[in-house]
Structure 1
Amino acid sequence: MQKRPRVVVSMGASVDGKVALTRDALLMHQPSSFLWESMTPPAADPVPIDIIEVLRQQYGCNAILEGSGSLVAEDETPEQLPTYDGDTAGLYQHFLPPDITGQPSPPHMWFTVVDSRGRVRWTEKHPNWDALVLVARSTPADYLGYLRREGICYLVVGEERVDLARGIAALGTELGIRCVLSTAGGGLNGAMLRAGLIDELHLTLAPALIGGLGTPSVMDGPPLAVGEAPTRLQLLSVHTDTGGSVRLHYAVVRHRQVA
Structure 2
Amino acid sequence: MSVPSLRPHVLMMSEITVDGKLTLKRGASSKILMKYMAHETEILLHKTRAECDAIMVGSHTIAIDNSFLTVRLVPGKSPIRVIPSSMADIPLTANVLNSDAPTVIAVSEQAPAERVAAIRGKGVDVVVCGKTHVDLPGLMAVLRKDYDVKKMMIEGGPTLNWHMLKHGLVDEIRLIHLPFIVGGEDTPSLVGGMHIESEDEMIRLRLLRHYLCGSNLVTEYAVSYGE
Which stretch of the first structure deviates more once superposed, 228-237 or 197-206? 228-237
Pairwise mapping of residues 1-259 of structure 1 onto structure 2 (< 5 A)? 3-28=6-31, 33=32, 36-37=33-34, 39-40=36-37, 44=38, 49-54=43-48, 56-57=50-51, 61-73=52-64, 107=77, 109-123=79-93, 124=95, 125-127=98-100, 129-226=101-198, 228-240=200-212, 243=215, 245-255=216-226
Report deviation, 1:133: 0.4
**CA pair 54-147 structure 1, distance change in 2 beyond 3 A:** closer
State the superposition RMSD in angstroms: 2.5
Report the AA paired with residue 18 of structure 2: V
Shift of 1:166: 0.9
- Cα offsets for 1:195-252 (capped at 9, x unmatched): 1111000101100001111111111112223453311111111113674x31101111
User: Number of residue pairs matched?
Assistant: 210
- 1:79-108: CA deviation from partner (whole Å, max 9, x where unpaired): xxxxxxxxxxxxxxxxxxxxxxxxxxx846
My pick for the range that moved more, 5-14 or 64-73, is 64-73
Unaligned runs of 5+ in 2: 65-75
Cα distance change, pair 107–153 in 1 and its aligned pair in 2 (3 A): same
Aligned CA distance change for structure 1 residues 7 and 37 (closer, same or farther; 3 Å): closer
For 2:40 and 2:46, locate their aligned partners in 1 and report how far apart those are by CA, in whole Å: 18
Measure how far apart 1:8 and its partner are: 0.6
Larger mean Cα displacement after TM superposition, 130-139 or 228-237? 228-237
Task: Assess if the C-alpha contact under 8 Å between 1:114 and 1:134 holds in 2.
Answer: yes
Against the structure 1 CA distance between its residues 185 and 108, is the aligned structure 2 distance closer, same or farther, given a 3 Å change threshold? closer
**Quick one: distance in 2 between partners of 1:149 and 1:64?**
22
Percent identity between the two aligned chains: 26
Give, in angstroms, the shift of residue 109 of structure 1: 2.7
Cα distance between partner residues in 1 of 2:40 and 2:145:
40
CA contact (8 A) 1:110 1:130 kept: yes
**Secondary structure in structure 2 of the residue aligned to 1:234:** strand
Change (3 A) 1:237 1:49: farther
* Partner amino acid, structure 2, of 1:71: I
Distance in 2 separating the partners of 1:53 and 1:156:
31
Aligned letter for 2:186?
A: G
Structure 1 residues 239 and 255: alpha-carbon distance in aligned structure 2, compared to 1, 3 A threshold: same
The structure with the largest alpha-carbon Rg is 1
- 1:3-58 superposed Cα distances (whole Å, 9 cap, x missing partner): 21111100001011100111122335xxxx2xx24645xxx56575424534655x
Q: Give TM-score, length-normalised by structure 1.
A: 0.73
**Residue type matched to 2:55 in 1?**
I
TM (norm. structure 2) is: 0.82
